[in-house]
A and B are shown apart, each in its own frame.
Chain A
């Protein structure tokens, strides 16, 4: 062994930390090398000094001070236990994140219709129609309104005939007014009435005639 290598192992050699084989090799080298033997002596002296280092001890009231702090800690624990459950659930973002992600995924899956892939829907019986009866939604004002208009016109004509007779003039005008009011109430659609100016003109004519 060369001196440099022996010196790198000397501290461990002096502490007896090396394998038997390496210890033997170093011992053999030390016998013939005074410089390395000197280094070994330095390490041994150092180890002796380390063994003689003073032992530090804690102060006399260390235990009492510590036990006082521990007693405070116990008191705190007891008080906490009185008000809170034994294991307080810890809610942290790290724990909530996967739950939130899973909830989002489930919502998206259900609302996108993906769940239909897994649920067997029963076959619809032949007597049940799958089509909605939406006839009530169909607005068919034309014929009804026409009917109403025809009725109003007919009445108006009758009223005109009546108003031509002087004895029935006031009666006819009030009847015409009632007729239009009822028409208005029935349809709740006054702009459509204005779309038929001949009704108005007829009624005006009737009024004028009555006057």
Chain B
């Protein structure tokens, strides 16, 4: 029910934007900018690039406002544009990959120090999400972090529903494999489980 009202509100706003209402456009930006930022930053791993992509996404929405199809969900359209832009950015990055020996040395030491500290599980989780393959990462972020329904994720990624479910499941399993040793190290599980010590 709440989802339906959200959808209706989006439709009203985009209709007003189509009629040239800039206040409505500002409302759309306010509604979605942080959600998009949370998705894109986890894909490109850079605050500045993520912000540029989000800005470009809204600009594209404005440019193509009249081509929006009201049969589909507005958020699906928005996320599709943003993810396509992020994918383009990642592709560009792969093509023009530069290595700075000094930078690499610095980062290596930083990462190694961080991974030795099991206390901050959130940071480890962020790193683990970052290290996921792109196709699993996108599905996981949209489903588990953005809490989009499976159907919407399938539409955004233009893949079948079953494929989305299997990718999300695979991503969770990969994360579990990466986090389990950290959790055991921090001994966070031992309190709430009836597991014998030998198993830990």
Residue numbers of A with Cβ under 8 A of B are 8, 11-12, 15, 34-35, 37-39, 41-43, 45-47, 49-50, 52-59, 62-63, 65-67, 69-70, 73
Contact = CB atoms under 8 A, between A and B. Distances in A.
A77 to B, nearest CB: 9
B25 interface: yes
A55 B122 CA distance: 12
A53 B199 contact: no
Given A58-B37, A58-B51, A63 B63 contact: no
Contacts of A63: 26, 29-30, 33
B37 A12 contact: no
Nearest to B173: A11
Contacts of A53: 122, 125-126, 145
Interface stretch (B69-77, B89-97, B111-119, B186-194): B186-194
A69 B55 contact: yes
Given A11-B176, A66-B59, 8 more contacts: A8-B169, A34-B195, A38-B199, A53-B122, A53-B126, A56-B38, A66-B55, A70-B22
B199 A50 contact: no
Interface in B167-182: 169, 172-173, 175-176, 179-180
Nearest to B58: A66
A34 to B, nearest CB: 6
A43 B199 CA distance: 17
Contacts of B26: 63, 67
B41 to A, nearest CB: 5
Main secondary structure of the interface of A (DSSP, over half): helix
Contacts of B38: 55-56
Contacts of A8: 169
B189 A46 contact: no
Contacts, number: 96
Interface residues of B, number: 41
B55 A62 contact: yes
A66 B26 CA distance: 10
A11 B47 CA distance: 30
B176 A66 contact: no
B63 A73 contact: yes
Given A46-B179, A52-B122, A12 B169 contact: yes
Contacts of B125: 46, 49-50, 53
B183 A58 contact: no
Contacts of B172: 11, 43, 46
B90 to A, nearest CB: 18
A37 B169 contact: no
Contacts of A47: 144
Contacts of B37: 56-58
Contacts of A15: 144
A37 B34 contact: no
A63 B41 CA distance: 18
B63 to A, nearest CB: 6
B55 A42 contact: no
Contacts of B126: 53
A73 B56 CA distance: 12
A41 B176 CA distance: 11
B54 interface: yes
Interface in B15-61: 22, 25-26, 29-30, 33-34, 37-38, 41, 47, 50-51, 54-55, 58-59
Given A57-B37, A58-B37, A41 B62 contact: no
A49 B144 contact: no
Q: Which interface residue of B26, B54, B172 has the most chain A CB atoms within 10 A?
A: B172
A70 B175 contact: no
Given A42-B176, A42-B183, A49 B121 contact: yes
Given A56-B37, A56-B47, A58-B54, A45 B195 contact: no
